[in-house]
Amino acid sequence: MNGHTFAAPADSNSTLADFGQDPLWLIIIKVIGVFGFLVVMTLFSIVFERKVVGRMQNRIGPNRTGPWGTLQSLADGIKLAFKEEIIPVLADKPVYWIAPVLSVVPAFLAFSVVPFGPVVSMFGRHTPLQLTDLPVGVLVIFACSSLGVYGIVLSGWASGSTYPLLGGLRSAAQMISYEVAMGLSMVAVFLYAGTMSTSGIVGAQKHLWNVIPLVVSFGVYCISMIGETNRAPFDLPEAESELVGGFHTEYSSMKFALFFLAEYINMVTVSALATTLFLGGWHAPFGIVSIWGGANSGWWPFVWFTVKVVLFIFGFVWLRGTLPRLRYDQFMHLGWKVLIPVNLVWILAITTMRVLGDRGTNRLVVAGVVLIPVLIGISLYTVLDVKKQARIEAAEAVTEAEAAALPLTFPIPPMDLVVPHSPRLVLAEASAATLPETARSTEGGRPDV
């Protein structure tokens, strides 16, 4: 008999064997559900961001469209759909059209392997609250989120304008830099959980979330996901003070709306991945299970998952309302000279702990021997790097002050300056002086032959 026809036990963690058994109609329902979740989360995130930033800036925020302004994002979407579309004359039309699609489609595909909850009952059939899963499920999310950069780069190149091209090039460099750090932060999770399956990683966090033993990886991932999504203070590809609108300067109407949609879906995607990797996925927060035994059964895990994702989105909004945009050299320095070296040292530490743990060494001894020196080394490296940057900035400030104290260095013409005549005028005057001597006029003004 098929085991899927029986009632699912409480806190039923799904495994890879549970996937690929759903009928077609149930798969279609799941696809529609994932699509609806992303669209609703996008509409919510836009209003949520404007409301929170408004409160941070002592403003009310949107309050006219719908109850308490909750329909403002829906009104913005309708407005964008009916706006006039302007295509630059020099644009490469096929690439210009396909670039927004390349940005938004991978954003939707990434959620196909995100676990929303355990095995639940859906229309009389028990199925995992997840569209599908693979032995390398996390890499699928990582690959889909990385494909979005192609849409950004192609949109900048196809617009036929300087500022979008600069924004696209910035985005390419930014994605490459911070994808490396993000990928390395996931390696520690794979080593600790022993799997790259999203459902397997969530199941491994049933008793202890990865954020506690892998706090360094969690910090690096949180910084990298901001750079990956081009959000403030890492929104350099669309810096309005430098590049007007960045890569989407020449886009309007629905094409601009697709870029807008892709940005917020990517926010939800990296937040969901952070929840899956480090915050226990759909598992209830600590303490709730001891009070309420059914917190991790049924549809309640979907609520815990959504709350965790919203907390990460609040972090995005908080950073946007708090921190100014980084300089590009500071941004690249953080990615290549801080996050990547810290990640590599941390992976070595986690690997050492894993090997010693497999050999039966006491975990407290392993933590004391490995983690404490590594954390001290990372802290010293960070402090020394901050001091080095402070010295460089102080030297730059002194140089700028000395330059400002000097008299004006641009050339000033003397008062008795004699401006030389233009060679063209000199030749014209010489020709005019010799013309009466050589030319002999006759009647009608023609020279004698």
**pLDDT tens, position by position, for the chain (449 residues)?**
344 443 444 456 677 777 878 899 999 999 999 999 999 999 999 999 999 999 998 888 888 888 888 899 889 889 888 888 888 888 888 899 999 998 899 989 989 999 999 888 888 888 899 998 889 889 888 888 778 888 888 888 888 888 888 888 888 888 888 888 999 999 999 988 889 999 999 999 988 899 988 888 999 999 999 988 888 788 876 666 666 677 888 888 888 888 888 889 999 999 999 999 999 999 998 878 888 878 888 889 999 999 999 999 999 999 988 888 888 888 888 888 889 988 998 898 888 888 877 777 776 777 677 777 777 887 887 888 888 888 888 888 888 887 777 776 666 777 777 777 777 777 877 777 776 555 544 444 444 44
Do residues 270 and 225 touch, judged by C-beta distance below 8 A?
A: yes
Does any domain span residue 421? Answer: no
pLDDT of residue 408: 64
What's the token pair of residue 42?
């996008």
276 with 401, same domain? no
Please choose, from the candidates 269, 279, 273, 284, the residue with its C-alpha nearest in 3D space to the C-alpha of residue 215.
Answer: 279
208-220 residues labelled b (16+ CB within 10 A) or e (exposed): ebbbebbebbbbb
Do residues 293 and 10 touch, judged by C-beta distance below 8 A?
A: yes
Do residues 173 and 332 touch, judged by C-beta distance below 8 A?
A: yes
Do residues 205 and 280 touch, judged by C-beta distance below 8 A?
A: yes
Does any domain span residue 372? Answer: yes
Does any domain span residue 55? Answer: yes
pLDDT of residue 242: 65
126 with 225, same domain? yes
pLDDT of residue 444: 47
Q: Which helix (H) or strand (E) holds 257?
A: helix 253-278
283 with 347, same domain? no
* Total domain count, the chain: 2
326, 352, 371 - which closes a domain: 326
- Helices and strands (H, E) in the chain, number of each type: 16, 2
**Residue 71: burial class (beta carbons within 10 Å; 0-12, 13-18, 19+):** middle
CA dihedral 43, 48, 50, 55 (to 10 degrees): 170
Q: How far is CA 209 from the centre of its chain?
A: 24
371 with 313, same domain? no
276, 310, 326 - which closes a domain: 326
Does any domain span residue 425? Answer: no
321 with 340, same domain? no
> What are the angstrom distances between the C-alpha of 217 and each of 125, 182, 364?
38, 9, 20
Does any domain span residue 431? Answer: no
Q: Which domain holds residue 202?
A: 3-326
Does any domain span residue 79? Answer: yes
Q: What is the DSSP letter of 441?
A: B
Q: In this structure, is the dihedral angle defined by the CA atoms of residues 280, 262, 299 and 6, taken in order, positive or negative?
A: negative
What's the token pair of residue 9?
């036990």
3-state secondary structure of 222: helix
Q: What is the DSSP letter of 443?
A: G
Do residues 141 and 34 touch, judged by C-beta distance below 8 A?
A: no
Residues 6+ apart with CB under 8 A from 99: 151, 152, 154, 155, 158
Q: Which helix (H) or strand (E) holds 431?
A: helix 423-438
295 with 203, same domain? yes
326, 348, 365 - which closes a domain: 326
Report long-range pairs for 323-327 (Cβ below 8 Å, ≥24 apart).
323/232, 323/233, 324/233, 325/232, 325/233, 325/234, 325/235, 325/236, 325/239, 325/241, 326/233, 326/234, 326/236
128 with 265, same domain? yes
Count of Cβ atoms closer than 10 Å to residue 373 Cβ: 11
pTM to 2 decimals?
Answer: 0.80
pLDDT of residue 328: 81
333 with 320, same domain? no
107 with 163, same domain? yes
298 with 352, same domain? no
3-state secondary structure of 127: strand
174 with 308, same domain? yes
Q: In this structure, is the dihedral angle defined by the CA atoms of residues 394, 396, 402 and 405, taken in order, positive or negative?
A: negative
Does any domain span residue 256? Answer: yes
Does any domain span residue 449? Answer: no
248 with 226, same domain? yes
